[in-house]
Homo-oligomer: A and B are copies of this chain.
Amino acid sequence: MGFLRHIEACNRFDPDQFLPFYIGGVQVGSIPRAESTVLGDYPGTFRLAEQFVSLSESLGTAASRTAAIGAAGEDLVRRGVLPGRRGELFAITAGWGGDVLVEIDRGVVPFFGTRSYGVHLNGFRGGSDRQELWIGKRAADKKTAPGKLDNLVAGGIASGYGAHATLLKEAAEEASMPADIAATARPAGAVFYRMGLPHGSRNDVLFIYDIDVPADFVPRNSDGEIEDFRVLAVDDCLRRVAETDDFKFNVNLVLIDLALRHGYIAPDHPDYLPLVAGLRRGG
């Protein structure tokens, strides 16, 4: 119980279980050590050393790297080694805003453990004085966290999109939010976490936005990803974060961040500083 357990769960990562993954001398990811040997089947694409994996140095351009990893990834999916591709490319860079080194399908990103970026929008219901939030319930057929509660809008940043552009796109698709309302969202920081998974890891940055939506705005999902939306008091959300696993694992971090920024958690909380710092671990 409590807030800190979510930060701990999202930062459970044992470096000894992974090999660093390099492109052009820059570490861009972490590959599960036990499953890395399969990459030896693609000697033109990967170089396997004892303590690291790197992309073949002969692949000198983003386009050639993307094609090579794409082909290897497709083959690994066909062989049942990797889960299905998602048909959405994520850009791998040496850092947020940096040059694109390669684009990787979202479905195989966890295997390579490259850093992913997403946006999350806290939707305060208008007139509630920031005491109530619009909360989505994820569809039962979502691959990740089906049926869990979620922010009003959230989504991964695909290659070629910035944070703000992703927010506007997802606000329209996920919540049917008119562009003039979505334009009033304001950035409010970011949270970081890195967590080991059964066949890979997540190394995520979530860009946080807040919005006060008009009282007469009612979100309506148009892409099938959200089953319904409901209004919950912030206090109720935080009680659920502390006492339940109702929310998707990383949405707990977004709500803890909201609680810290908006004074719902105060310095007299015994975990105040571990919470503040824990949201940026690995940053």
Contact = CB atoms under 8 A, between A and B. Distances in A.
A187 B277 contact: no
Residues of A in contact with B, size category: 20 to 34
A189 B265 CA distance: 9
Contacts of A272: 96-97, 190
Contacts of A277: 192, 280, 283
Given A273-B95, A283-B273, A267 B186 contact: no
Interface in A171-202: 186-190, 192
A233 to B, nearest CB: 17
Interface stretch (A59-67, A99-107, A256-264): A256-264
Contacts of A186: 262-263
Contacts of A97: 268, 270, 272
- Most chain B C-beta atoms within 10 Å of own C-beta, residue among A187, A205, A279: A187
Contacts of A276: 189-190, 280, 283
A164 interface: yes
Given A186-B262, A263-B188, A280-B276, A268 B205 contact: no
Interface in A239-276: 260-263, 265-268, 270, 272-273, 276
B260 A189 contact: yes
A207 interface: yes
Number of copies: 2
Contact of A190 (B190, B210, B267, B270): B267
Contacts of A262: 186, 188
Which 4 A/B pairs are nearest by Cβ-Cβ distance? A277-B283, A186-B263, A163-B267, A280-B280
Given A188-B260, A189-B260, A192-B277, 13 more contacts: A96-B273, A97-B272, A162-B268, A163-B266, A187-B266, A188-B263, A189-B261, A190-B272, A190-B273, A205-B273, A207-B267, A277-B280, A280-B280
14 contacts: A96-B267, A96-B272, A97-B270, A97-B272, A163-B266, A186-B262, A187-B260, A188-B261, A190-B267, A190-B273, A192-B273, A276-B280, A277-B280, A280-B283
Interface of A: 95-97, 162-164, 186-190, 192, 205, 207, 210, 260-263, 265-268, 270, 272-273, 276-277, 279-280, 283
